[in-house]
């Protein structure tokens, strides 16, 4: 093998050595490159990749916090949370899904349809993701499942919480919760980064208004998951924060009583504290069962609700718009007195109608009231008298007064479903309808017909502001601890404590930074006195519904808002309201305040298509007032107990 | 000259031979082997029975095999290199027909006791064979056409046999191992330049022959974020694992990327990623240092040894070893496309371990018989 000469070996060795040197240099460069890359990834970009690694590693499941509770004035729970019994399933742990469903059908109420839906949903999700089979089992079903649990592997009985409402009376004002819809996700931004499937959100009323606060802060369970998303172990938990509890001004006892009184008619009742604007009661009829929505309302039930003639889902107290009818006469009269257009003594002769440019405007009483002054006009609700008042007053001055007393604007802040109503005027008509105002329309407006549209709560507020002597109220339904002090209450307190203060009312008001709604308080007192006459003097429109007990005596004004004007033939044939189609009958109104001697509460009652206010609305008001005055003592006792001021 | 002449005829005593072992190299390999057992223990989620046990047994057996081979005279490897090469080609052909099919490729030959992957051994076989070839021919002939075509032919045969298994990664490494020897033997720059040029021209044609998954790997390498859940997944997850390891790592058995199955092939191609995640930059640098020591020691043997065959072999093997390590690391760090190249010693795999230990054994025998002329 030693056939090569040594020079060959030497030259080869030299070549190899030289080339090896080049290769080694190249290797060194590559090593530096790899070390550099390592340093870049592990030292420079550590934060970035560490974050990505954690993102890989952890998954969070959100836990819905218990929803805030809605209480009445006395802390009684109107909307609270209850334990519910659910059945969860983890498809991964089920040996045979069909057998399981077959067995389950004998234990709980499970329809073929529901099984089909569950299977379809199951196919869409990961095998280890939990699926809810039954949302709200009865206790007996739940205990039966627990009994047979050893045969039902993969099934997990779970005790959870859900909304429950104590009764239907407050369904409209409190609202209801139900499943999240795409529209909720769009409107309620706080729901967008929520990843809880079975969460209920407020749809109407207070539930919707304070949804975010009552929802609370979701907690979470943090899991370590593997690359396929399977949970490996629980890392940490956070229970979140319970939703805020709201105490309302409502009295659940009155709510239930009032709802019971109007359950056979379609209508609304509102009761308001005339000094602090607390809404003591607000019910609408027909009511619905808010609990039906919590676990998803069934189709038939929903169809019944939305196709119902009387619109049970509508909160008529704030969303129902009706012409105020004769109840507005209190304002028409007040406006005339304040503007010095009329005096209380001025007489107008009522012959049953007046004529204006050849058109006849009828009084409700065909034979007429004879000579009518303002007190009598309100007491008998004489239309002809108020046609004359309105004619002299003009629509725009009436509109100013009506707006001052809260008509034509929303009473409560934030309620999405509340309507503002309409206070007509010459400018309003030109803007909205593009037409000029006619004098005839002023006459109709003067008795609350025509374009006027109000809600029961607005009329309740109007009455309350007359009853308290003409002071602006800020009605509230939720008691907010951090709410600013109400200067009006301080004013009333001052008046109570210093009845003989020499300063004029105007000076006193200025001291409390308040603006009165009147120019001369005598005018307000005159209206109150006239309303007393209407309710408590023979011949008054609501005399039949008066209270004889001094404690309950109220002063009120009836009203009926026309749906359709009577034709001449009907008028001559003396057609009664009960003789015409239900949907063409007048709406019946009654507004009042009580007790007359020392007013505390204002009330408005609306009965849809009830005919006349005196026959349909006033009797309901009578009973509500009795209840409210009775409950007043409880309320006062509760306030002193809380150490709050009146 | 005198010394060499004398030493040829002087048989070593066992004691002399034993103390001519390069202990630095030996211990570096041993340390790396121990580390590899821990890495495999971690790759099976802290379970010794799974990969770690068989890896430890393999390492133990092949480490002894490495020491034993060291005592075989270097002349034996020179004399039988053609035979070894030819046998490996035959094994590759046999694999083509009788190989065990797994995951769409035919790479393993069932030898009843274990499955052998001849392509891994070929990485060493080609070095042996070409070292012998260039040892025999004269310096003047190296750049002659006839003497150029033969090595090219010798490299192309196994390349084609392996690339059609299909196993692009190993085929490239075999070709590369051969090419290093031709380079070291003194083949002109120009010829490499021409061949590279030709390759660039032929590349588009070659790419058209690639399997769709191979094409997507190359495209993915160019832009891994284009399809983060598909082909780019491996590179992205590997980078996340390495990057999140930081300076000191997440701790032994705490590599969440590996432990939670985000890391693919974590016991073979991505073992360095796993190690890097758990031991950080410091641990990774230690591994690189150990590899550097091994490569340096083999290169040093090449410089000390007298015969051209041994020189070519040691330099060639050191360079090939370097390429295996560098390609694997560059791959898992997102610097090269994922081609399927194991990391020597650390990766799980018998044939790869056998090939590396065989290569190291021959290098060691070059050290023991460094004064032997052929």
Q: What is the mean pLDDT of each run of 10 residues along chain A (646 residues)?
A: 63 89 94 95 92 83 84 92 86 83 85 85 77 83 86 81 89 90 80 72 90 86 76 79 91 94 94 92 93 86 91 93 94 94 91 89 90 93 94 94 93 88 93 91 92 95 93 88 72 80 77 84 93 92 90 93 80 79 90 92 95 91 94 87 59
Element (H, E) at A423: none
Q: Which residue of A has its CA nearest to B323?
A: A27
Choice between A126 and B295, residue whose per-residue pLDDT is larger? B295
Candidates A134, A204, A141, A176; CA nearest to A294 is A176
Chain B residues with beta carbon closer than 8 angstroms to that of A224? 256, 260
A8 to chain B, any CB pair closer than 8 A? The answer is yes
Q: How far apart are CA B42 and CA B263, in angstroms?
A: 13
Point out the least confidently predicted range of A228-237, A586-595, B313-322, B325-334. A228-237
Instruction: Give pLDDT, residue B225.
Output: 61
Chain A residues with beta carbon closer than 8 angstroms to that of B335? 33-34, 37
Which of B239, B281, B315 is nearest residue A43 as measured by Cβ atoms?
B281
Q: Return the DSSP state at A616.
A: I
Work out the percent of chain B whose per-residue pLDDT is above 70.
Answer: 93
Cβ-contact B342, B349 below 8 angstroms: yes
Instruction: Give pLDDT, residue A426.
Output: 93
Q: Is the peptide bond before B372 cis (omega within 30 degrees of 0)?
A: no
Cβ-contact B36, B345 below 8 angstroms: yes
What is the SS3 assignment for B136? Answer: helix
Point out the least confidently predicted range of A336-350, B95-109, B299-313. B95-109
Q: What are phi and psi of B255, to 5 degrees?
A: -70, 100
Q: How far apart are CA B355 and CA B156, in angstroms?
A: 20
Which of A18, A27, A50 to substitute to test the interface with B, most B CBs within 10 Å?
A27
Q: Is the peptide bond before B229 cis (omega within 30 degrees of 0)?
A: no
**β-strand pairing of A370-372 with A231-238:** unpaired
Is B329 within the bounds of a domain? Answer: yes
Instruction: Give pLDDT, residue A95.
Output: 81
Q: Which residue of A has its CA nearest to B229?
A: A227
| Distance from the A10 Cα atom to the nearest Cα atom in chain B, whole angstroms | 9
Is B373 within the bounds of a domain? Answer: no
Q: How far apart are CA A323 and CA A587, in angstroms?
A: 9
**β-strand pairing of A370-372 with A155-165:** unpaired
- Which chain A residues in 27-46 lie under 8 Å from chain B, judged by CB atoms? 27, 30-31, 33-35, 37-39, 41-43, 45-46
Q: Which residues of A273-310 are buried (b: 16+ CB within 10 A; e: fewer)?
A: bbbbbbbbbbbbbbbbbbbbbbbebeeeeeeebeeeee
Choice between A400 and B336, residue whose per-residue pLDDT is larger? A400
pLDDT in tens, A368-415: 899 999 999 999 999 999 999 999 999 999 999 999 999 999 998 888
Choice between A3 and B275, residue whose per-residue pLDDT is larger? B275
Instruction: Give pLDDT, residue A195.
Output: 67
CB contact under 8 A, B261 and A53: no
Q: What are phi and psi of A162, to 5 degrees?
A: -150, 165
Helices (H), A131-188: 139-147, 171-174, 182-187
Q: What is the mean pLDDT of residues B110-127?
A: 90
Q: How far apart are CA B127 and CA A644, in angstroms?
A: 98
**β-strand pairing of A267-273 with A601-607:** antiparallel
CA A453 to chain centre: 20
Domains of chain A with CATH codes: 64-248 (3.90.1310.10), 252-642 (3.40.710.10)
User: Count of domains in chain B?
Assistant: 1
Number of A/B CB contacts below 8 angstroms equals: 127
A347 to chain B, any CB pair closer than 8 A? The answer is no
The structure's pTM equals 0.66
CA A30 to chain centre: 72
Question: Is pLDDT above 70 for B208?
Answer: yes
pLDDT in tens, B143-153: 888 899 999 99
B185 to chain A, any CB pair closer than 8 A? The answer is yes
Question: Structural domain of residue B183, as residue ranges?
Answer: 2-368
Q: How far apart are CA A258 and CA A404, in angstroms?
A: 29
Helices (H), A447-497: 456-467, 487-497
Is B194 within the bounds of a domain? Answer: yes
Is B285 within the bounds of a domain? Answer: yes
Element (H, E) at A285: strand A279-285
pLDDT-derived band of residue B205, with 50, 70 and 90 as boundaries?
Answer: confident
Task: Give the Å distances, CA to CA, from A414 to A280, A478, A487, B101, B204.
Answer: 18, 12, 22, 72, 69
Name the percent of chain B in helix, strand, coil, to the closest 5: 75, 5, 25
Instruction: Give pLDDT, residue B224.
Output: 61
Choice between A625 and B264, residue whose per-residue pLDDT is larger? A625
Average pLDDT score, chain B: 88
CB contact under 8 A, A34 and B246: no
pLDDT in tens, B15-50: 888 888 999 999 999 999 999 999 999 998 888 888
CB contact under 8 A, B260 and A224: yes
Q: How far apart are CA B116 and CA B109, in angstroms?
A: 5
| Burial (0-12, 13-18, 19+ Cβ within 10 Å), B1 | exposed
Question: Is pLDDT above 50 for B352?
Answer: yes
Instruction: Give pLDDT, residue B230.
Output: 61
pLDDT in tens, B223-246: 666 555 565 788 888 999 999 999
Q: How far apart are CA A398 and CA A335, in angstroms?
A: 6
Cβ-contact A229, B229 below 8 angstroms: no
What is this model's ipTM? 0.91
- Which chain B residues in 331-360 lie under 8 Å from chain A, judged by CB atoms? 333, 335
Choice between B127 and B257, residue whose per-residue pLDDT is larger? B127
Torsion of CA A517, A518, A524, A527, to 10 degrees: -80
Candidates A125, A141, A127; CA nearest to A87 is A141
Instruction: Give pLDDT, residue A442.
Output: 93
CB contact under 8 A, B184 and A20: yes
Instruction: Give pLDDT, residue A88.
Output: 84
Q: How far apart are CA A73 and CA A180, in angstroms?
A: 30
CB contact under 8 A, B319 and A1: no
Q: Report DSSP letters for A164-176, one per residue.
A: EES-STTHHHH--
B240 to chain A, any CB pair closer than 8 A? The answer is yes
Q: What is the mean pLDDT of residues B99-125?
A: 87
| Cα B28–Cα B32–Cα B34 angle in degrees, nearest 5 | 120
Is B374 within the bounds of a domain? Answer: no
Q: How far apart are CA B66 and CA B344, in angstroms?
A: 14
Candidates A293, A357, A59; CA nearest to A163 is A293
Instruction: Give pLDDT, residue A573.
Output: 78
Q: How far apart are CA B353 and CA B25, in angstroms?
A: 16
Question: Is pLDDT above 70 for B221?
Answer: no
Q: How far apart are CA B108 and CA B120, in angstroms?
A: 10
């Amino acid at each position: 093998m030693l056939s090569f000469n040594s020079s060959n070996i030497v030259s080869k060795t030299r070549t190899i050595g030289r080339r090896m040197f080049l290769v080694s240099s190249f290797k060194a460069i590559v090593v530096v490159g790899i070390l550099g890359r390592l340093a870049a990834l592990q030292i420079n970009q550590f934060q970035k990749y560490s974050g990505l690694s954690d993102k890989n590693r952890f998954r969070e499941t959100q836990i819905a916090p218990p929803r805030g509770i809605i209480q009445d004035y006395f802390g009684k729970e109107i909307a609270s949370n209850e334990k519910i019994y659910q059945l969860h399933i983890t498809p991964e742990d089920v040996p045979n899904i069909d057998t399981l469903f077959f067995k389950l059908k004998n234990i709980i109420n499970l329809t073929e349809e529901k099984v089909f839906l569950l299977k379809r949903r199951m196919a869409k999700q990961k095998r280890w993701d939990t699926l809810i089979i039954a949302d709200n089992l009865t206790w007996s079903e739940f205990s039966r499942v627990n009994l047979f649990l050893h045969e039902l592997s993969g099934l997990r009985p779970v005790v959870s919480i859900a909304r429950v409402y104590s009764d239907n009376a407050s369904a409209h004002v409190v609202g209801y919760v139900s499943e999240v819809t795409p529209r909720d996700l769009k409107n309620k931004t706080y729901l967008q980064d929520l990843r809880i499937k079975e969460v209920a959100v407020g749809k109407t009323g207070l539930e919707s208004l304070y949804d975010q606060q009552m929802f609370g802060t979701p907690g979470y369970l943090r899991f370590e998951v593997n690359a396929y998303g399977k949970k490996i172990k629980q890392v940490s938990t956070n229970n979140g924060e319970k939703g805020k509890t709201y105490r309302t001004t409502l009295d659940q006892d009155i709510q239930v009583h009032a709802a019971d009184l109007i359950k056979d008619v379609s209508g609304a009742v509102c009761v308001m504290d005339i000094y602090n604007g607390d809404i003591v009661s607000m019910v609408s009829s027909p009511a619905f069962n808010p609990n039906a929505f919590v676990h998803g309302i069934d189709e038939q039930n929903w169809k019944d609700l939305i196709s119902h003639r009387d619109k049970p889902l509508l909160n008529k107290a704030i969303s129902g718009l009706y012409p105020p009818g004769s109840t507005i006469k209190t304002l028409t009269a007040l406006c005339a007195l304040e503007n010095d257009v009329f005096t209380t003594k001025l007489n107008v002769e009522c012959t049953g109608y007046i004529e204006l440019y050849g058109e006849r405007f009828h009084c409700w009483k065909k034979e007429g009231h004879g000579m009518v002054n303002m007190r009598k006009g309100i007491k008998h609700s004489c239309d002809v008298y108020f046609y004359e008042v309105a004619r002299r007053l003009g629509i725009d001055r009436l509109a100013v007064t009506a707006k001052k007393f809260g008509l034509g604007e929303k009473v409560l802040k934030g309620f999405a479903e509340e309507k503002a109503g309409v206070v007509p005027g010459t400018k309003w008509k030109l803007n909205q309808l593009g037409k000029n105002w006619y004098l005839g329309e002023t006459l109709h407006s003067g008795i609350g017909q025509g374009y006027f549209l109000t809600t029961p709560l607005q009329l309740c507020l109007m009455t309350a502001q007359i009853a308290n002597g003409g002071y602006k109220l800020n009605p509230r339904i939720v008691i907010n601890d951090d709410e600013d002090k109400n200067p009006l209450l301080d004013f009333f307190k001052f008046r109570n404590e210093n009845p003989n203060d020499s300063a004029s009312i105007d000076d006193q008001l200025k001291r409390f930074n308040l603006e009165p709604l009147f120019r001369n308080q005598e005018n307000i007192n005159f209206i109150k006195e006239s309303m007393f006459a209407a309710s408590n003097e023979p011949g008054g429109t609501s005399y039949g519904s008066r209270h004889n007990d001094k404690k309950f005596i109220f002063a009120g004004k009836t009203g009926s808002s026309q749906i359709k004007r009577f034709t001449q033939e009907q008028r001559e044939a003396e057609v009664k309201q009960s003789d015409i189609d239900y949907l063409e009958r007048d709406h019946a109104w009654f507004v009042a305040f009580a007790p007359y001697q020392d007013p505390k509460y204002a009330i408005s009652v609306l009965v849809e298509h009830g005919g006349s206010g005196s026959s349909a609305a006033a009797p309901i008001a009578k009973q509500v007032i009795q209840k409210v005055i009775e409950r007043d003592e409880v309320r006062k006792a509760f306030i002193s107990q809380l150490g709050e001021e009146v | 000259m005198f010394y060499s002449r004398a030493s040829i005829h002087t048989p070593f005593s066992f004691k002399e031979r034993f103390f001519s072992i390069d202990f630095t190299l030996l211990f570096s390999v041993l340390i790396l082997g121990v580390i590899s057992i821990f890495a495999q223990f971690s790759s099976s989620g802290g379970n010794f029975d799974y990969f770690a046990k068989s890896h430890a047994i393999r390492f133990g057996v092949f480490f002894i095999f490495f020491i034993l081979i060291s005592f075989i005279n270097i002349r034996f490897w020179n004399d039988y290199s053609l035979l070894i090469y030819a046998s490996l080609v035959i094994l590759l052909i046999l694999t083509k027909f009788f190989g065990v099919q797994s995951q769409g490729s035919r790479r393993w030959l069932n030898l009843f006791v274990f499955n052998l992957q001849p392509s891994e051994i070929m990485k060493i076989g080609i070095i042996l064979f070409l070292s012998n070839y260039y040892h025999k021919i004269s310096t003047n002939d190296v750049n002659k056409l006839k003497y150029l075509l033969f090595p090219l032919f010798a490299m192309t045969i196994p390349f084609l046999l392996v690339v059609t298994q299909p196993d692009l990664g190993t085929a490239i490494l075999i070709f590369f191992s051969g090419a290093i020897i031709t380079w070291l033997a003194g083949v002109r720059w120009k010829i490499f330049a021409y061949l590279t040029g030709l390759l660039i021209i032929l590349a588009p044609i070659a790419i058209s022959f690639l399997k769709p998954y191979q094409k997507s790997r190359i495209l993915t390498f160019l832009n891994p974020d284009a399809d983060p859940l598909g082909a780019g997944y491996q590179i992205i997850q590997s980078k996340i694992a390495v990057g999140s390891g930081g300076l000191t790592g997440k701790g032994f058995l705490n590599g969440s990327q590996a432990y939670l199955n985000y890391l693919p092939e974590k016991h073979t191609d991505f073992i360095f990623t796993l190690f890097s995640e758990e031991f950080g930059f410091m641990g990774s640098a230690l591994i690189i240092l150990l590899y550097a020591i091994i490569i340096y020691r083999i290169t040093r043997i090449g410089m000390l040894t007298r015969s051209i065959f041994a020189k070519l072999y040691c330099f060639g093997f050191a360079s090939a070893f370097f390429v295996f390590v560098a390609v694997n690391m560059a791959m898992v760090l997102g610097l090269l496309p994922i081609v399927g190249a194991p990391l020597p010693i650390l990766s799980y795999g018998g044939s790869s371990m056998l090939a590396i230990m065989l290569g190291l054994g021959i290098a060691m025998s070059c050290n023991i018989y460094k004064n032997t002329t052929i």
